[in-house]
């Protein structure tokens, strides 16, 4: 187990390791059949590759996983739509775009993106 450098703030260190855990989860989320296997591999990655203590790695991976589940997976690009009656939806996980007619989307969803 490595010692934390004296000039690194504990909060900054944990935030950096949390970002590393989140990046790992995003990169490998589609490779696993279940969440438990993904969480185990992310914890293993933090402990082996980044030398994070096991107790901290487990906590950070759980926090990162919660953030990942809360993340907004859909973005809207109003300027990319071919006409005013369509809207461009973007899957943030893979960048895939799809054009959808505005009339089939719930008005509450559209209001999030069209009101200032």
Q: What's the pLDDT tens digit per position in 38-81? A: 999 999 999 999 999 999 999 999 999 988 877 667 788 888 88
Check whether residue 47 and residue 99 sit in a common domain. Answer: no
Q: 30: pLDDT confidence band, cut at 50, 70 and 90?
A: confident
Identify whether residues 40 and 24 lie together within a single domain. yes
Neighbours of 4 (CB within 10 A): 12
| 57 and 93 fall within a common domain | no
Mark whether 47 and 17 lie in a shared domain: yes
Do 91 and 62 share a structural domain?
Answer: no
Strand 86-91: give its sheet, edge to edge. 74-77, 86-91, 97-101
Domain that holds residue 84: 74-114
Among 53, 49, 51, 43, CA closest to 21: 43
The CA-to-CA distance between both ends of the chain, in Å, stands at 50
pTM: 0.57
Q: Which residue has the tokens 């996983």?
A: 65
Question: For the chain, what is the domain count?
Answer: 2
Contact 74, 89 (CB under 8 A): yes
* Residue 1: band (very low, low, confident or very high) from pLDDT cuts 50, 70, 90: very low
15 and 56 share one domain: yes
Domain presence at residue 1: no
Domain identity same for 57 and 98: no
For residues 64 and 18, is the Cβ–Cβ distance under 8 A? yes
Furthest-apart CA atoms within the chain: distance in Å = 58
Lookup: tokens for 63: 């926090």
């Amino acid at each position: 187990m490595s010692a934390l450098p004296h000039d690194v703030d504990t909060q900054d260190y944990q935030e950096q390791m949390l970002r590393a855990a989140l990046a790992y989860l995003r990169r490998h989320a589609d490779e696993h059949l279940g969440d438990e296997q993904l969480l185990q591999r992310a914890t293993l990655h933090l402990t082996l590759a980044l030398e994070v203590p096991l107790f901290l790695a487990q906590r950070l991976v759980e926090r990162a996983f919660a953030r990942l589940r809360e993340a907004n997976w859909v973005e809207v690009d109003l300027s990319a739509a071919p006409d005013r009656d369509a809207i461009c939806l973007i899957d943030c996980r893979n960048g895939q775009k799809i054009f959808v007619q505005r009339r089939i989307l719930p008005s509450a969803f559209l209001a999030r993106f069209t009101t200032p």
